[in-house]
Structure 1
């Protein structure tokens, strides 16, 4: 990473805050080893037990990308019975559709597709472009999570299995965007710049997401408990399922490809490849020299950029000049709009505190009884 993250710092040896943050906050929870294998085995037993008398014992979202496709393969290998959900927000590339079909057919799974009302999705995305904030993926990401959560609750599924992983996502500057699950933020931007009501768009309010949902569902990321290697995963998917790579992380969506490879660099100077490649470096699957060589490659060829820009502008209903003006207008910070940031921060603090208390309680349980009694006596004073 570099100073395109305004919050980055470097120590006397030139090591950046992201590297230190990974070692301090992430590495202790990343277990691509025997300990992770034991935790995964225990987790799978719990998922199977909790879902034993239900049609599905877990739910996963399938975008057709590397992580979610590989996760689907592993879930079948682990003997789970997933409800597989694809949320269609209107931006799937033809290759993504084909890849999803190859995975579902090859694994013998059923796909439940949730289609987001395109008129509402388009209106919300137009509003976000007019807001000039950095995280233009909020409408799409919020829809994906909300639809998946509602499916889980509808089918009384406890375990939501995510393809999120530290091996490829261990570094991401917080200054480059904002929380996609802040409904207050979404509604304020839509109120200011939207043109039509959002009647069916799946919005999860603060209480629904951070309280009710997190009490009823368990989100787990099992790729953090195995030796997940993106290159090896791609090779397996290509060989066993005829899956084909998109050329970039999250490029299964035409919108996300354009947003990450053009909008962010042109308007904010953010090249998301730096975060993605930095994640691979701290995970030990790529060298710094290899990452620098990758960054030398252009984000787009001129023809590809022109094609995608014309496609996105037309699909969103913008003329060429208006669309270009939106991209090159001065950027704005998300805090210029209403948010639930303070409440979210307080909730996450409480959540982390409770997690630490539970972890301490587990450690106390492991102490011999006599010592444990003395420890509890000290704590009670």
Structure 2
């Protein structure tokens, strides 16, 4: 087992088993940001001009339609601020699209509502069949893998893409951004969410009911078919515009009464439990290292502040028993069964059928073409 080491520039460490350090102790995440992202990222007037050119294309495509684009809305900071900018600054007419996977927090519901009402928009909500979602999530628990959030994430993505395709919507606004996400979760922590071979294998082995209505979308469907045959474009405006967490949260709070979350992705009750407790205590993976390292690299957090925050767990030890009770009850199992899954032997994506080769080849092609940056290994 390799000795423990932490990057001298960010807070990524050897909990990422594939991390590499140079002679100065700087990790490959930092070097990837400096070499791949920074030279191609322009969150300034140049970037704003580039996005305005895209806005004109979006508006042209939407002429004669009720909406000129579609945007997935979780109630999180990224999607909320993107919605604010898209409407108030660029006068776009997005269909606000929310997928209810059964785990919304009250805060997320409130944040979606205040944004939609404040901007005078329509909200379309698609509800995933809970019994199928529950069965799929339990299959991942039984599989023993780290990437328990795939059933929820995949449903969100697939539902949005299929809706856009069915309704001939040509532009999808996406809140993904370099400012808070330039460091990516290592593959061993959070595996590819659209590896259909893996999804089918895990459910075939551990699922108990057919997924008759659960939405699936293979990477070939939304990366190739939708983009090149149907002409559907995914646009990430926050990569063209000045964006910092502190400013965005202040604007949303003062303008709409939006309220911040303790941590990124905590708009989902399941994701809060999974990222704050399950991943760190079962696998030793703390996603805050990825989030804080992104903020360090983009000048929004000091390394000293990140190190201090990491000294405390992301979950509240005094309420974790209540969280176990809530998650177990929602999934229709006992707390003892849920704790059994926490103690069972560790598994990885490599223990199940996968198409890793296809994803890595596609990622390299996208990087070569300049479509995507900061692709980790």
- Normalised to the residue count of structure 2, the TM-score between the two structures is 0.91
Secondary structure of 1:60's counterpart equals strand
1:225 is the counterpart of 2:240: yes
Q: Deviations over 1:297-316 (max 9, x none)?
A: 33122232122111011111
1:75 maps to 2:86: yes
Displacement of 1:349 in angstroms is 3.8
Q: Distance in 1 between matches of 2:183 and 2:201?
A: 29
Q: Is 1:294–2:309 an aligned residue pair?
A: yes
Q: Shift in Å at residue 352 of structure 1?
A: 4.5
- Alignment of 1:35 onto 2:43: no
1:106 aligns with 2:118: yes
CA distance in 2, matches of 1:4, 1:185: 23
Match of 1:175, SS?
A: coil
Change (3 A) 1:83 1:171: same
The corresponding residue for 2:268 is 253
After the TM superposition, which of the residue ranges 337-346 and 234-243 deviates more from structure 2? 337-346
Matches within 5 A, 1:156-171: 156-171=168-183
State the Cα distance separating 1:24 from its structure 2 match.
1.4
CA distance, structure 2, for counterparts of residue 37 and residue 229 of structure 1:
15
- Per-residue deviation, residues 84-113 of structure 1 (Å, max 9, x unmatched): 100000000111111111111111110000
Q: How many residues align?
A: 356
Match of 1:136 in 2: 148
* 1:264 aligns with one of 279, 291, 299: 279
Determine whether 1:192 maps to 2:208: no
Could you list the per-position Cα deviations for residues 136-186 of structure 1 after superposition, in whole angstroms to 9, with x for gaps in the alignment? 111111000001101111221111110001110111223322110112211
> Are the equivalent residues in 1 in contact too, given 2:128–2:214 (CA < 8 A)?
yes
Residue of structure 1 in register with 2:59 after alignment = 48
What is the rounded CA distance, in whole Å, between the counterparts of 1:354 and 1:163 in structure 2? 22
Deviates more, 1:133-142 or 1:46-55: 46-55
CA contact (8 A) 2:188 2:349 kept: no
Q: After superposition, where does 1:1-381 map in structure 2 within 5 Å?
A: 1-77=12-88, 78-172=90-184, 173-215=186-228, 216=230, 217-353=232-368
Q: d(CA) in 1 for partners of 2:76 and 2:365?
A: 33
Query: What secondary structure sits across from 2:319 in the alignment?
Result: helix
| Cα distance in 2 between the residues matched to 1:76 and 1:98 | 19
Q: Is the 8 A contact 2:276 2:313 kept in 1?
A: no
Summarize the Cα distance change of 1:298–1:266 in structure 2 as closer, same or farther, 3 Å threshold: closer
Provide the rounded CA distance (Å) in 1 between the counterparts of 2:350 and 2:227. Answer: 25
What SS does the corresponding residue of 2:96 show, helix, strand or coil?
Answer: strand
| DSSP-derived class of the 2:125 partner | strand
- Could you say what secondary structure the match of 1:31 adopts? coil
Q: TM-score, structure 1 length as denominator?
A: 0.90
Q: Distance in 2 between matches of 1:171 and 1:255?
A: 23
Question: Runs of 5+ in structure 2 lacking a partner?
Answer: 1-11, 372-377
Does 172-181 or 67-76 show the bigger shift? 172-181
- Relative to structure 1, is the Cα distance of residues 348 and 9 closer, same or farther in structure 2, using a 3 angstrom cutoff? closer
8 Å Cα contact 1:89-1:121 kept in structure 2: yes
Task: Please say which structure displays the higher CA radius of gyration.
Answer: 1
CA distance in 2, matches of 1:104, 1:209: 27
291-300 or 344-353: bigger deviation: 344-353
Q: Check 1:275–1:257 CA distance in 2 against 1; reply closer, same or farther (3 A cut).
A: same
Give, in angstroms, the shift of residue 80 of structure 1: 0.5
| Contact 2:188–2:348, Cα closer than 8 Å, also in 1 | no
1:253 CA drift (Å)? 0.3
CA RMSD of aligned residues (A): 1.4
Paired with 2:317 and 2:368, the residues of 1 have a C-alpha distance of 50
